[in-house]
């Protein structure tokens, strides 16, 4: 028998002549191949799959609308992305020490992890803080803790990111107060305050005030920030937590951009010039295991955002059209079993983020399914980024996967599916996406959507439709953990923090504190901006819990429904 | 789990009341919610406390609902503080831990498994624990506790072990 070359001119012909005969004999590994989010993946992509994509209109050049290939003309050839390692634990001085270690190791931006009491606007002496002080992040009760956190660090030299939401106004106020103390012009401060309450209602659950007052405070931060800190990102619109709570990549993309659009509507309703605030909005995505799907997600995000800001919101400042984002590798993908394998997972996810054009990156440590990272684990995570940046050479050219039939097709597909969700959310609000968000929160739409995906994902793992190395396949019989974990003596930390609070309350000017707190209350009651009186209270050494307490008194509190 | 053990169990799951709790300020509820849904689909009666509960609120819910199983989820490291406090309140209110199955799940360092079991916990599950392993263990423990079996099992991390293997 002789093999003759068969003439093939299209995908269908190739399938008929080459694939089908083989399939009849051998078959393939699986009946269907899907991305992690459940999108069908074809055997092969060819020019036919990108026939409806126009290069100039849909892809274009780096730094050129719609920025599919990246927001800047030189990207990593100009400057490597920012290594921004999310870190914080114990007392402010413990975190300060870790920060100095990371900066010495070549980290280029700071990112603060706060403990749960701080994240929830409660002081270390609050009854609900028991067992949690300094445990999952750093404990900050007053401005003096914040000053200790930044000991030896200049606010005019480094950009700082703060992952905090209901009390965002307090921590953001503290950063401004710190600049004042250091004699730094507030106008040059660089950094990011997360300040994204919508994703808290959808997924992350750091919940204090009800939805509308929460958005009112965000509006205050916007209004204050465009004038005071024009180089500071006033929000980090976050898909990370939505994904960690179990969403698919498409849902992460859709809900994050819908949240972003809602914040733009909020700014507009507050009378803020969108051309000015546009460049001060930043994004934060997850990078999970499905390499190409993640890259397509990042590229689609830039395109959707640019079109929204330019065509729908009619902004004219090109800087306002650019979606810039931070990425964190997927914490939920880390396994407790055979933890060193997590270094490999994190590397693949970090590569996807870089090939997707991220502006800054956090790489998770291999021990995080067990505890907060040890010094060594945090260092390996940072080194992973440096190896990608300096050894792999992938940062030598911009958006190298553009033009891949598969990646371009998947990018368009993600865009299309995300827009379907976004349109639905808008419809819920009768055409106003901000109102659609409120309706969605009220009807638990987001919680249900994300919860269904989380459940399906867990079922897929248990049914081995999704293989997790070391968990449901390639397991070890008698595994013992051999990596040393970070130890935190919470009782001791809490004792020290409580002593500090008591000592400060003795020493501070009580009248000034009370008067500042009253001023916050009046501002809230009269619907004025709460930022200026909050900064006054911070400087008077009011505690975070006292300041947030005033807001709770005015606006009430919010609890997540317990629906399943 | 061992097939013989599973075969020996004849349990009416809808008579088993499970309370899933999120004590403390930790908002990570993906695991708790997914597990609640699975246990409910598997036939158990499931109650979920919702988020941000104090030790007292969790213990009171367990007492008022007279549950057979109390499962507590922690992704915050706060188990070290909450587990002893919650079990203490239960004991002070007359609960015999030989009659209630106590489970802890989440980011629990391996070196603390024994400490948890010594406090009265029956099973410690880590991130990624298969849900049917959890329900199988619930069934086994309910039976062992009802029968006052002299041969009690524990679950630590990824393993079902006997009391004498606990190190």
Residues 243-262 in A contacting B (C-alpha not used; CB under 8 Å): 244-246
pLDDT tens sequence across A459-468: 999 999 999 9
Q: Do A128 and B24 touch (CB under 8 A)?
A: yes
Q: Is B48 on the interface with A (CB under 8 A)?
A: yes
Rounded Cα distance between B120 and B118, Å, is 5
B73–chain A nearest CA distance, Å: 14
Q: Do A132 and B25 touch (CB under 8 A)?
A: yes
Nearest CA to B95 out of B68, B122, B55 is that of B68
pLDDT of A135: 93
Structure tokens given for B154: 């524990």
Between the alpha carbon of residue A315 and those of residues A198, A268, B127, the distances in Å are 23, 11, 45
A408–chain B nearest CA distance, Å: 32
Q: Is B111 on the interface with A (CB under 8 A)?
A: yes
Whether the upstream peptide bond of residue A125 has omega within 30° of 0, thus cis, is no
Q: Do B48 and A562 touch (CB under 8 A)?
A: yes
pLDDT of A110 above 80: yes
CATH of span A55-462: 3.20.20.240
pLDDT tens sequence across A308-363: 999 999 999 999 999 999 999 999 999 999 999 999 999 999 999 999 999 999 99
Between the alpha carbon of residue A27 and those of residues A11, A22, A32, the distances in Å are 18, 7, 11
pLDDT tens sequence across A546-555: 999 999 999 9
Domain ranges of chain A: 55-462
pLDDT of A1 above 60: no
Structure tokens given for A564: 């399943």
pLDDT of B4: 47
CATH 3.40.50.280 at B3-7+17-165, yes or no: yes
Q: What is the mean pLDDT of residues A12-31?
A: 94
Nearest CA to A520 out of A501, A503, A535 is that of A535
Q: Do A560 and B126 touch (CB under 8 A)?
A: no
- Tokens 């069934």 belong to residue: B139
Between the alpha carbon of residue A248 and those of residues A81, A262, A455, B71, the distances in Å are 26, 21, 11, 27
Q: What is the mean pLDDT of residues A184-188?
A: 98
Considering only alpha carbons, which residue of chain A is nearest residue B133? A462
Q: Do B30 and A205 touch (CB under 8 A)?
A: no
Q: Is A114 exposed, middle or buried (0-12, 13-18, 19+ CB in 10 A)?
A: buried
Q: What is the mean pLDDT of residues A217-236?
A: 98
- The closest CB to that of A130, out of B81, B111, B157, belongs to B81
Q: Do A116 and B25 touch (CB under 8 A)?
A: yes
pLDDT of A2: 59
Please tell me the number of Cα atoms within 13 Å of A530 on its side-chain side.
31
Residues 304-333 in A contacting B (C-alpha not used; CB under 8 Å): 332
Q: Do A128 and B34 touch (CB under 8 A)?
A: no
Neighbours of B66 (CB within 10 A): 10
DSSP state string for A253-284: HHHHHHHHHHHHHHHHHTT--HHHHGGGEEEE
3-state helix, strand, coil in chain A (%, to 5): 55, 10, 40
Rounded Cα distance between A217 and A445, Å, is 23
Alpha helices in A429-444 (DSSP H): 433-442
Yes or no: say if A49 and A409 are a contact pair by the CB < 8 Å rule.
Answer: yes
In b/e form, how buried is each residue of A442-453, taking b as 16+ CB within 10 angstroms?
eeebbbebbbeb
Rounded Cα distance between B124 and B108, Å, is 8
Yes or no: say if A160 and A109 are a contact pair by the CB < 8 Å rule.
Answer: yes
The sign one gets for the Cα dihedral A202, A208, A212, A217 is negative
In b/e form, how buried is each residue of B80-112, taking b as 16+ CB within 10 angstroms?
bbbbbbbbebbeeeebebeebbbbbbbbbbbeb
Q: Is B158 on the interface with A (CB under 8 A)?
A: yes
Residues in chain B closer than 8 A to A132 (CB atoms): 24-26, 76-78, 81
Neighbours of A487 (CB within 10 A): 10
Residues in chain B closer than 8 A to A560 (CB atoms): 29, 50-51
Close Cβ partners of B111 (under 8 Å, ≥ 6 residues apart): A481, A485
pLDDT tens sequence across A389-446: 999 999 999 999 999 999 999 999 999 999 999 999 999 999 999 999 999 999 999 9
Report residues of chain B scoring pLDDT below 50.
1-5, 7-8
Considering only alpha carbons, which residue of chain B is nearest residue A136? B76
Q: Do B51 and A559 touch (CB under 8 A)?
A: yes
pLDDT tens sequence across A116-175: 999 999 999 999 999 999 999 999 999 999 999 999 999 999 999 999 999 999 999 999
Nearest CA to A135 out of A121, A118, A149 is that of A118
Rounded Cα distance between A237 and A281, Å, is 8
What mean pLDDT value characterizes chain A?
A: 96
Q: What is the mean pLDDT of residues A226-233?
A: 98
Q: Is A207 on the interface with B (CB under 8 A)?
A: yes
């Amino acid at each position: 028998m002789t093999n003759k070359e068969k003439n093939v001119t299209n995908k269908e012909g190739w399938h008929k002549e080459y694939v089908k005969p083989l399939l009849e004999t051998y078959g393939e590994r699986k009946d269907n191949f899907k991305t992690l989010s459940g999108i069908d993946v074809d055997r092969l992509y060819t020019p036919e799959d990108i026939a409806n994509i126009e290069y100039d209109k849909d892809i274009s050049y780096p730094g050129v609308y719609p920025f599919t290939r990246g927001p800047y003309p030189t990207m990593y050839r100009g400057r490597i992305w920012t290594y921004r390692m999310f870190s914080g634990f114990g007392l402010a001085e413990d975190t300060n020490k870790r920060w100095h270690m990371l900066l010495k190791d070549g980290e280029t931006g700071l990112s603060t992890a706060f403990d749960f009491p701080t994240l929830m606007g409660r002081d270390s002496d609050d009854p609900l803080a028991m067992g949690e002080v300094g445990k999952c992040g750093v404990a900050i009760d007053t401005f003096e803790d914040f000053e200790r956190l930044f000991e030896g660090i200049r606010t005019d030299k480094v950009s700082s990111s703060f992952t905090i939401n209901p009390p965002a106004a307090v921590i953001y106020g503290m950063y401004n107060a710190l600049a004042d103390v250091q004699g730094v012009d507030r106008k040059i401060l660089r950094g990011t305050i997360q300040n994204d309450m919508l994703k808290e209602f959808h997924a992350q659950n750091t919940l204090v005030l009800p939805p509308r007052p929460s958005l009112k405070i965000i509006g205050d931060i916007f209004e204050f920030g465009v004038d005071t800190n024009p180089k500071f990102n006033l929000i980090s619109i976050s898909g990370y937590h939505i994904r960690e709570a179990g969403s698919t990549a498409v849902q992460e993309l859709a809900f994050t951009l819908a949240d972003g659009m809602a914040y733009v509507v909020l700014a507009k309703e507050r009378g803020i010039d969108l051309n000015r605030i546009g460049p001060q909005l930043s994004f934060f995505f997850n990078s999970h295991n499905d390499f190409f799907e993640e890259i397509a997600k990042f590229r689609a995000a830039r395109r959707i955002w640019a079109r929204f800001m330019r065509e729908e919101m009619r902004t004219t400042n090109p800087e306002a059209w650019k979606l810039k984002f931070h990425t964190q590798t997927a914490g939920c993908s880390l396994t407790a079993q055979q933890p060193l394998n997590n270094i490999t997972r994190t590397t693949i996810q970090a590569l996807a983020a870089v090939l997707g054009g991220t502006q800054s990156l956090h790489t998770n440590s291999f021990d995080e399914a067990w505890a907060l990272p040890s010094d060594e684990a945090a260092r390996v995570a940072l080194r992973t980024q440096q190896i990608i940046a300096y050894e792999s050479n992938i940062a030598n050219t911009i958006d190298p996967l553009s033009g891949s039939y598969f990646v371009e097709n998947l990018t368009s597909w993600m865009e299309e599916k995300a827009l379907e969700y976004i349109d639905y959310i808008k419809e819920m609000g009768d055409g106003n996406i901000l109102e659609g968000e409120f309706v969605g929160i009220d009807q638990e739409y987001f919680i249900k959507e994300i919860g269904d995906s989380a459940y399906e994902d867990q079922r897929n793992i248990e049914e081995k439709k999704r293989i997790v190395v070391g968990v449901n396949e390639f397991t070890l019989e008698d595994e013992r953990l051999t990596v040393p974990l970070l130890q935190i003596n919470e009782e001791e930390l809490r004792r020290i923090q409580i002593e500090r609070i008591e000592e400060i309350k003795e020493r501070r000017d009580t009248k000034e504190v009370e008067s500042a707190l009253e001023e916050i209350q009046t501002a809230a009651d009269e619907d004025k901006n709460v930022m200026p009186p909050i900064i006054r209270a911070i400087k008077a050494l009011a505690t975070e819990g006292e300041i947030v307490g005033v807001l709770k008194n005015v606006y009430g509190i919010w609890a997540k429904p317990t629906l399943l | 789990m061992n097939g013989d053990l599973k075969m020996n169990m004849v349990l009416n799951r809808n008579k088993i009341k499970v309370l899933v709790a999120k004590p403390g300020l930790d908002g990570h509820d993906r695991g708790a919610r997914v597990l609640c849904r699975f246990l409910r689909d598997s036939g158990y009666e499931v109650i979920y406390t919702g988020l941000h509960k104090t030790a007292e609120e969790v213990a009171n819910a367990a007492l008022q609902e007279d549950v057979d199983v109390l499962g507590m989820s922690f992704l915050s490291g706060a188990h070290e503080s909450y587990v002893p406090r919650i079990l203490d309140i239960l004991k002070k209110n007359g609960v015999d831990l030989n009659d209630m199955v106590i489970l802890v799940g989440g980011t629990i360092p391996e070196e603390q498994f024994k400490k948890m079991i010594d406090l009265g916990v029956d099973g410690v599950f880590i991130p990624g624990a298969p849900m049917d392993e959890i329900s199988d263990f619930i069934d086994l423990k309910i039976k062992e506790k009802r029968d006052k079996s002299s041969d009690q099992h524990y679950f630590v991390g990824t393993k079902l072990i006997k009391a004498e293997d606990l190190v």
